[in-house]
Structures are given as structure tokens and as C-alpha cells.
């Protein structure tokens, strides 16, 4: 094992995972986040619908420069990590985004505007110490020896591995934490209410948005689901009906695959009907509206519910109305996993 580890670190740096993650974020994920932005009820992904008739704004390509600093006279110049440390500056780059204006579906203008600044990880692909970036700044081509000499002139150790940020002159390290894999269901016992509770949870992650959804089996046998932006929990059957599994037969068929679980399924359906008066989809939508926006106008409550079901709930399965049934089946399977754990059908 020791030989294997030694062989790995002869080729790989201890911080390589940090640098690769940062490069992927800048190169791919920022653009995916931009492409998924929707502003305005009638706009599509990557579009902004202003309150002006016939006009639309498309969000184009996001890009960043090599790190720069603004001097006292207002000029902007390229900067290296050592200068940022000495001058107590943040080692960051300008972030640019292309905006394309359409009128009646025809492009009438295209502009690239600065939308912010992003701290740059030392030795990443966007760092000034990268050979290609240094050549671009100095407008010259270097041999490997000349490159090492320029690194020394910039005050840098040629064996520097990087993998950290410089903010206000201080080096900041990103600490990796162990977490649940996104978009995968974990079923476990959770210590809660002074007892062991059967729980299924999933971190739904999509284009920068991450939300925890969990289902637990209450003491009375009811499956309750906890959602982001919603206070307290909700009966799972109510949410399934809101998502499109209206009939009791549909719920039973998707919630259980073993007849020994029938009593749990019927108990949950009965609780939904008798305690919450939820029989069909309209009842469920109305219940959710009162739960998340009680006291508000009916239209506002409906908009909040639609936003919850389409964009907040399990976004990795889709963010359109037609994806609701898929989400209902996914949640029903999570509920079945909880019941299986409660009945000792799984370890």
C-alpha cells in the first residue's frame, strides 16, 4: 500500500483535487449556472424577460481575466500572488458576462459587461503563474528555464503547489468536508425525539442549487417529508397527490412493492383524507398553499406552490411542470425505502 501511495504522489500533488475542482467551476459550472438562470415568468433558461413588450435579454458567455489590481490612479494592471500578499490585496480576476438584447426575436445589440470579481486559486489554470498566462501578460514566449527564472523574479517558489486563495493579503485554504453524494438516496436510523427514527434523505443538486429533502416515519406510522423553504414537515401522501398521483391506487402501487406494507400505505392515505381533508390534486395544492403562504391571496399561494413543486423540489429531476410525476415516483420510492427499514427488510 505504501508503494502505491508513494507512486501516486510522485505524479499528483496533495492539492491537485482542489485545483481541478476550481478549474472545473470556472470553466464549466459558472456557465451552466448562467444558462440555468430564469428571470420572469415567461422567460426560458438563460433568459431575462424585462417588463417591456417584445424585448428579451439572453445571458451569453461568462468569462474571466487573469488576476489584476486597481492602482491609486485608477489604472488596472496584472498582478502576481506575491504582490497580493505584500500589499494586502485580494488575488482576484474580473468576471464578464455577455448580454444579448432581442426585440421581437431579432438581435439588436450585444455587450460584454463586468458582473463582479472572483478570487483566483494559486496555480490554477487562471493563475498568473501559469506559463501560458505569464506569456500572455508579458507578450513573449518562454523556454522552461526562462519560465522558472520569471517565477523567481515574481517572488515565487518554483516548487509551489498552490491550491489556496489570497484574500486581503492572507492565504485562505478551502477545507474539504465529507458529505453525502448528491442526488443519491441514503436510508438510515436517525436519533430524534429521544428514539431511533427511520429516515431517507437526498441532497438534490442542480447547477449550483443544493437542497436537502428527507422523509421519516413518525411514531403514528405516517410518512412525513421535510422540504427546503417550508416550515415544519408535510404528509408525504399530500405531496404525492399535489405532484400528480391523485388516486389511492396510484399511491399504493408506487409506495409499496410488498403486500406486508399495505397497512402503512392505507394508514397514510386515510390520515391525508381525514386529518387534512386532502382527496385529490386540487385539495393537495390548496393545502400546500395554506402551509407555505397562509393568509396571502389565492394567486400568490398558487405561484408559491408551483415554484416549490417545479424549481425547489428535486431540481436534479427537472424544473418543468411535466417533471412532477417523475418526482412523485422518486419520493414514493424513498418512502418505500423508509418502510422497508422499519419492517427490518433492509439492514
Q: pLDDT per residue over 75-131, tens digit each? A: 999 999 999 999 999 999 999 999 999 988 889 999 999 999 999 999 999 999 999
Residue 291 lies in a domain: yes
Q: Read off φ and ψ for residue 49, nearest 5 degrees.
A: -110, 95
Same domain, 74 and 139: yes
Alpha-carbon span 12 to 5, nearest angstrom? 10
Q: Which of 128, 143, 172 is the last residue of a domain?
A: 172
| In a shared domain, residues 101 and 209 | no
How much is the pLDDT for 40? Answer: 62
291 and 203 in one domain?
A: yes
- Domain enclosing residue 337, as ranges: 186-342
Residue partners of 75: CB distance under 8 A and separation at least 6? none
Residue 181 in any domain: the answer is no
CA angle (18, 93, 141) in 5-degree steps:
85
Say whether both 65 and 17 belong to one domain: yes
pLDDT given at position 319: 85
Same domain, 100 and 227: no
Q: What is the pLDDT of residues 280-311, one digit of tens each?
A: 999 999 999 999 888 888 899 999 999 999 98
**Cell (9 digits) for 323:** 417533471
Task: Look at residue 139 and tell me if it is in a domain.
Answer: yes
The reply to whether 124 falls in a domain is yes
DSSP label at residue 219: T
Report which DSSP code applies to 115.
E
User: Are 37 and 168 in a shared domain?
Assistant: yes
pLDDT score at 42: 59
> Does 231 share its domain with 271?
yes
Kindly indicate the confidence band of residue 210, based on its pLDDT and cuts at 50, 70 and 90.
confident
Q: How far apart are CA 297 and CA 285, in angstroms?
A: 14
pLDDT value of position 289: 93
Domain boundary among 148, 172, 196: 172
C-alpha triplet 130, 12, 210: angle, nearest 5°: 80
Is residue 224 within a helix (H) or strand (E), and if so which, with residue range?
A: strand 223-226
* SS3 label, residue 346: coil
pTM of the model: 0.67
Confidence tier at 178 by pLDDT (50, 70, 90) = low
CA pair distance 23, 123, nearest whole angstrom = 10
Residue 312 counted as domain residue: yes
Residue 166's beta-bridge partner residues? 171
**Structural domains in the chain (count):** 2
Position 78 in a domain: yes
Alpha-carbon distance values, 118 to 22, 29, 191, 220 (Å)? 11, 14, 41, 50
In this structure, what CATH number is given to the domain that contains residue 296? 3.90.1110.10
Cell of 26: 470556472
Burial of 284 (0-12, 13-18, 19+ CB in 10 A): buried
- The CB density around residue 269, as the number of other CB atoms within 10 Å, is 21
One domain for residues 193 and 220:
yes
Per-residue cell: 125? 489554470
Residue 104 covered by a domain = yes
Residue 347 belongs to a domain? no
Say yes or no: 207 and 114 in one domain: no
In a shared domain, residues 290 and 330: yes
Amino acid at each position: 500500500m505504501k508503494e502505491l501511495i508513494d507512486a501516486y504522489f510522485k505524479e499528483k500533488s496533495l492539492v491537485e483535487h482542489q485545483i481541478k475542482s476550481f478549474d472545473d467551476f470556472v470553466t464549466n459550472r459558472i456557465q451552466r449556472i448562467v444558462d440555468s438562470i430564469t428571470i420572469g415568468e415567461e422567460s426560458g433558461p438563460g433568459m431575462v424577460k424585462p417588463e417591456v413588450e417584445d424585448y428579451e435579454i439572453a445571458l451569453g458567455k461568462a468569462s474571466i481575466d487573469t488576476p489584476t489590481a486597481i492602482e491609486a490612479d485608477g489604472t488596472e494592471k496584472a498582478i502576481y500572488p506575491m504582490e497580493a500578499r505584500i500589499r494586502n490585496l485580494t488575488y482576484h480576476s474580473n468576471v464578464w458576462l455577455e448580454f444579448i438584447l432581442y426585440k421581437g426575436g431579432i438581435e439588436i445589440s450585444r455587450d460584454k459587461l463586468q458582473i463582479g470579481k472572483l478570487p483566483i486559486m494559486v496555480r490554477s489554470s487562471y493563475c498568473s503563474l501559469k506559463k501560458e498566462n505569464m506569456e500572455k501578460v508579458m507578450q513573449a514566449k518562454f523556454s522552461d528555464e526562462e519560465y522558472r527564472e520569471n517565477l523567481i523574479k515574481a517572488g515565487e517558489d518554483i516548487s509551489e503547489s498552490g491550491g489556496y486563495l489570497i484574500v486581503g493579503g492572507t492565504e485562505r485554504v478551502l477545507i474539504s468536508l465529507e458529505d453525502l453524494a448528491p442526488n443519491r438516496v441514503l436510508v438510515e436510523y436517525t436519533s430524534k425525539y429521544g428514539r431511533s427514527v427511520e429516515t431517507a434523505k437526498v441532497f438534490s443538486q442542480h447547477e449550483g442549487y443544493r437542497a436537502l429533502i428527507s422523509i421519516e416515519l413518525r411514531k403514528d406510522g405516517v410518512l412525513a417529508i421535510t422540504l427546503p423553504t417550508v416550515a415544519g414537515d408535510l404528509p408525504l401522501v399530500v405531496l404525492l397527490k399535489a405532484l400528480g398521483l391523485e388516486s389511492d391506487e396510484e399511491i399504493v402501487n408506487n409506495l409499496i412493492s410488498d403486500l406486508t406494507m399495505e397497512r402503512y400505505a392505507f394508514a397514510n392515505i386515510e390520515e391525508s383524507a381525514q386529518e387534512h381533508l386532502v382527496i385529490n390534486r386540487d385539495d393537495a395544492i390548496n393545502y400546500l398553499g395554506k402551509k407555505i403562504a397562509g393568509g396571502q391571496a389565492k394567486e400568490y399561494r398558487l405561484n408559491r406552490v408551483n415554484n416549490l413543486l417545479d424549481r425547489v423540489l428535486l431540481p436534479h429531476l427537472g424544473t418543468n411542470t411535466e417533471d412532477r410525476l417523475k418526482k412523485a415516483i422518486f419520493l414514493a420510492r424513498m418512502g418505500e425505502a423508509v418502510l422497508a427499514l422499519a419492517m427490518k427488510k433492509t439492514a
